[in-house]
């Protein structure tokens, strides 16, 4: 009996077709997957925003007003160095501190990416002055968006920008497909100080103070 089977050429063609189909599926599904991760990230930040609000209520925080010199606890912010611990009692799970797109962050090793928070605090506290004696009580590396930017007073920043982002996510800025609007940190998800809501914001809206 004559045996039939795939020849080498036919096998190569089948593999090529499978590779093309896989590439098409990846191109179509990758943005949808990232969009889903962004939705989860927004949900996480929203829960953290509620925790900030409850923390403010419990500690009798007051709304920031222009010209007032406010301590970080007066605007409803826990100490920056242990903000995760301070808000732990207000959250059902520690998983909300980790963005689903955290694996895109190049500075977080895969071996610890499941353990470390990916949402970055952006406000001053006592610890800032303790770590750098040259800083005044409420000074730190502000405005946001640059870690090499000028030193600014937090109370002055919130008098000019009462909606200053106090917690933000960097993960999505490393997603390069299909558009580059996230590249370079122009757009980020963050919790806004004025009402602890979660918004998509542009760092360019928060210009450095003169």
Inside any domain, residue 79: yes
Count of domains for the chain: 1
- pLDDT tens, per residue, the chain with 210 residues: 555 666 777 778 888 888 877 777 666 667 778 888 899 999 999 999 999 999 888 876 666 666 666 677 777 788 777 788 888 889 988 889 999 988 777 666 555 556 667 888 888 765 665 666 676 666 776 655 444 556 777 777 888 888 889 899 988 876 655 566 676 667 889 999 988 999 999 888 887 666
Q: Is residue 1 part of a domain?
A: no
Look up the domain containing 119 and give its range: 8-205
Q: What's this model's pTM, rounded to 2 decimal places?
A: 0.76
Task: Sort 29 into a burial class: Cβ within 10 Å, 0-12 / 13-18 / 19+.
Answer: exposed
29 domain-assigned: yes
Structural domain contains residue 210: no
- Two tokens, residue 182: 């996230």
């Amino acid at each position: 009996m004559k045996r039939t089977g795939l020849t080498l050429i036919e096998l190569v063609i089948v593999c090529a077709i499978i590779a093309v189909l896989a590439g098409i599926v990846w191109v179509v599904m990758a943005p949808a997957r990232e969009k889903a991760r962004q939705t989860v990230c927004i949900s996480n930040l929203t829960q953290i925003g509620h925790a900030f609000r409850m923390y403010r209520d419990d500690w009798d925080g007051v709304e920031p007003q222009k010209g007032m010199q406010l301590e970080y606890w007066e605007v409803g912010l826990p100490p920056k160095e242990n903000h995760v611990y301070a808000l732990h009692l207000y959250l059902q799970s520690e998983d909300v501190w980790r963005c689903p797109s955290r694996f895109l962050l190049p500075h977080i090793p895969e071996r610890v990416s499941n353990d470390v928070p990916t949402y970055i605090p952006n406000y001053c506290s006592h610890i800032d002055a303790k770590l750098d004696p040259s800083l005044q009580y409420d000074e730190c590396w502000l405005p946001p968006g640059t870690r090499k930017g000028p030193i600014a007073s937090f109370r002055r920043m919130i008098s000019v920008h009462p909606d200053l982002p106090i917690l933000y996510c960097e993960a999505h800025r490393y997603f390069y497909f299909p558009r580059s609007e996230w590249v370079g940190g122009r757009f980020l998800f963050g919790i806004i100080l004025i009402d602890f809501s979660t918004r998509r914001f542009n760092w360019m809206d928060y210009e450095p103070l003169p």
